[in-house]
Structure 1
Amino acid sequence: MTQKIQEPLFGVAVIAGVGLIGGSLALGLRQRGLASRVIGYDASPQALEEALALGVIDEVRATPGEWLRSADLVVLAAPVKALLPLARELAPWLSPQATVTDVGSVKMSIAAEMERLGVRQFVPGHPMAGSERGGVQNASAALLENAVWVLAPTETTPLTALSRVRTLVERLGAAPVVMPPEAHDQLVATISHLPYLASLALTHMVARDERLSLLAAGGFRDLTRVASGDPRMSRDMVVENREALREATRRFIRQLEHLADTLDHPDDLLAAATEGKRTRDSLPVVKRSLLPPKFDLVVATPDRPNQLGIITNALGQAGVNIKDIEVLSVREQGGALRLGLETLDDVTRAGELLRELGYETRGRG
């Protein structure tokens, strides 16, 4: 995709932590011309060397110092456990005028720490984006496009700083959503951290009964996918948000108990199942629940090579822009793709084209 070059928002931008998210943000800054110079800061010499070799950043730094005072933008992009130590390390060197933000998945702790450190131009942030493949080698500016990016200002966050970061997020192609830090942590506990605990619980049940593993495929693998994440990073993430997660877990247990009670009342269970299906079907393809909905086209695919390539090439040649792709299932007989398209007209055109090619399709707005 060709990016439109715009006037830089910032002179010197420092990305503190050049992993997947930090590297993707750095690429977005460079490709969209949002900073005159992008400096990578990281404790890992290997990560810095790789980021420089890949063209992710313009310059590398491994220790804090006077050079930080020239930074107009500083992004704290370390894992959640390392975020507070990183903030303490850099804070003494930051210019009072520097705009500072972070990408951590928990907001209350970093907001309180930055206030304690006297960093006034700080805007807590959390891009709801990621990949199962970590590291700067997998960074991509496209990772942030269309992602919900939560901005969680406190009562002391300057409106000018919030405006600058919001503009940055928009020009990176993401969708900013503003809410208080405590609201963010409560919501993320439910939509992100609780599913991780639930996945662990289900996988532990399988691990303790070998018979279950014989049947654990398809839907079970999809449901427990998040248990495949880095155990240490996942642990740090949920522990940091433990109070909100405890409350979310209590609500989840109550929901499970209620559903268990409906097993003796089939009509109630049907009503619950209908509500569940309606809610799940209304979620956007990309599973970022705060994004505006896309228009879906579901395509049944046979178990033959290059089906994804045939479908995407055909639609690309017809000028149909695919915003998102989700693999719904993979079986011996084939599977299905859910394509997120921009308009209902795209759904109609794509459906007609793919049916001419022999595919079975079903559209949903």
Structure 2
Amino acid sequence: MVTPNPFKTVVIAGVGLIGGSVALGLKGRFLADKIIGYDANPETLKLALALGVIDEGYVTPGDWAQQADLIILATPVGSLARIARDLSSHAREDAVFTDVGSVKGKVTDLLSDLRNFVPGHPMAGSEKAGVTAARASLLENAIWVLTPTANTPLPLLNRVKQLVTKLGANPVVMPPDAHDQLIATISHLPYMTALALTHMVARDERLALLAAGGFRDITRVASGDPRMSRDMVINNKEALREAISRFRKELDQLEEQLDSPEMLFESAMEGKRTRDSLPIVKRSLIPGLFDLVVAIPDKPGEIGRIANILGDKGINIKDIEVLAIREEGGALRLGFETGELLERAHAALNAVGYETRPRGLGQSSL
């Protein structure tokens, strides 16, 4: 059964790490016909255009927003509501809005009257910032939380869930306040802890001299965008205060156990069991392979034809996956062992009229 893509023209408001990664995911899997970038920084838009992340770019709201079927709000949380209202005044009435902000309660309150809004938060990120750090694989296998409100139409929620799934992420639905309470502990508290530790190092040169790989690993999140990080914790401060209070109690208990080696050993064992049981999120579907995504028309025999074309050229396909089905066709991911094989496959398929895009490790070779 052919399932059309849920959206054709997508606006990315805020073309940074997450916004750029979503755009690359949409492009790489042929999930949108056009990606429009909206960002207050013209240099960011120029860079995004040069990198092929977006197809058009605008620094001010305007009638261009009429093209949008979906508007993804990827700005810092502090400016997200204002950007949404600026764009909604120009967008069509049937345009769908979603966001990628790490705080949901305040955002949904501020945008409670925004039509067709499906709040969301992909649980993905990096200590690097900006569109140059964006990559489609950042979203693969990530949990993508959707937090509908009483005003969110169920059909729209399902359309956004469908898009999230096609991007390779795993949609999870929960209320906004539940999301904020959970995220305060697993995301915002670690950020505040990393700040505290790095501040201690900054105030003692001897600590800085000894800080090595392990310390860098546990404080990695302190290297994120300071403005976005500040906005996320400020806008979730009540839930974060509660998490900090619980963390203090845990530290107090561990401090007391310094005089009780057996109890501290049990705590250490519990910590190891918990840490070892956490799922490992693989950010690419087949690590180590060079991937090529191929747009294919919806007619019988296309996959076999592609395999025969490459087979005749002596190009071995190590992995194959149907990524998406759309009204006029679909997308196929082909995995190759080397970048050289990927380049040959790219050339061979383009020569007979297939549209292809490299992804993952092979992306830098073309």
Q: Fold match, TM over 0.5? A: yes
Residues 77 and 107 in structure 2, CA contact (< 8 A), matched pair in contact too: no
The residue type equivalent to 1:104 in the other structure is: G
Match of 1:65 in 2: 62
Match of 1:165 in 2: 160
Question: What is the percentage of aligned positions where both structures have the same residue?
Answer: 62
Matched, 1:156 2:138: no
Of the candidates 2, 10, 17, which is equivalent to residue 20 of structure 1? 17
Match of 2:31 in 1: 34
Are residues 8 and 202 of structure 1, via their aligned partners in 2, closer, same or farther at CA, if it must alter by over 3 Å? same
Q: Which deviates the most, 73-82 or 271-280?
A: 73-82
Q: SS where residue 35 of structure 2 aligns? A: strand
The one-character-per-residue Cα deviations of 1:195-229 (angstroms, maximum 9, x if unpaired) are: 11111212222233333333322322222222222
- 1:1-365 pair list within 5 angstroms: 7-115=4-112, 118-286=113-281
The one-character-per-residue Cα deviations of 1:229-268 (angstroms, maximum 9, x if unpaired) are: 2333322221111111101000000111111122222222
Q: Structure 2: any 5+ residue segments left out of the alignment?
A: 290-315, 321-366
Structure 2: distance between partners of 1:50 and 1:312: 28
Residues 8 and 36 in structure 1, CA contact (< 8 A), matched pair in contact too: no
Shift, 1:149, TM fit: 0.7
Structure 2: distance between partners of 1:13 and 1:131: 23
The residue type equivalent to 1:102 in the other structure is: D
Residues 6 and 33 in structure 1, CA contact (< 8 A), matched pair in contact too: no
Shift, 1:52, TM fit: 1.6
Consecutive aligned runs of 4 or more in structure 1 exceeding 4 Å deviation: 317-321
What RMSD, in angstroms, separates the aligned Cα atoms of the two structures? 2.5
Q: Figure out how many residues of one structure are paired with residues of the other and give that number.
A: 291
Structure 2: distance between partners of 1:254 and 1:320: 50
Are residues 95 and 220 of structure 1, via their aligned partners in 2, closer, same or farther at CA, if it must alter by over 3 Å? same
Structure 1: distance between partners of 2:89 and 2:47: 28
Shift, 1:56, TM fit: 1.4
Are residues 238 and 287 of structure 1, via their aligned partners in 2, closer, same or farther at CA, if it must alter by over 3 Å? farther
The one-character-per-residue Cα deviations of 1:44-95 (angstroms, maximum 9, x if unpaired) are: 1111122222221222222222332332111111122221221221122232
Residues 7 and 33 in structure 1, CA contact (< 8 A), matched pair in contact too: no
Are residues 205 and 49 of structure 1, via their aligned partners in 2, closer, same or farther at CA, if it must alter by over 3 Å? closer
Q: Structure 1: any 5+ residue segments left out of the alignment?
A: 289-293, 295-310, 322-365
Structure 1: distance between partners of 2:20 and 2:126: 13
The residue type equivalent to 1:138 in the other structure is: A
Shift, 1:155, TM fit: 2.0
Higher RCO by CA contacts (8 Å cutoff, separation 6 or greater): 2
Q: SS where residue 172 of structure 2 aligns? A: strand
Structure 2: distance between partners of 1:222 and 1:154: 37
The residue type equivalent to 1:59 in the other structure is: E
Residues 16 and 42 in structure 1, CA contact (< 8 A), matched pair in contact too: yes
Match of 1:344 in 2: none
Residues 96 and 119 in structure 1, CA contact (< 8 A), matched pair in contact too: no
Residues 6 and 32 in structure 1, CA contact (< 8 A), matched pair in contact too: no
Are residues 147 and 262 of structure 1, via their aligned partners in 2, closer, same or farther at CA, if it must alter by over 3 Å? same
Are residues 312 and 90 of structure 1, via their aligned partners in 2, closer, same or farther at CA, if it must alter by over 3 Å? closer
TM-score (norm 1): 0.74
The one-character-per-residue Cα deviations of 1:276-326 (angstroms, maximum 9, x if unpaired) are: 0000111123399xxxxx9xxxxxxxxxxxxxxxx958xxx99699xxxxx
Shift, 1:270, TM fit: 1.4
Residues 126 and 224 in structure 2, CA contact (< 8 A), matched pair in contact too: no
The residue type equivalent to 1:184 in the other structure is: H
Shift, 1:157, TM fit: 1.2
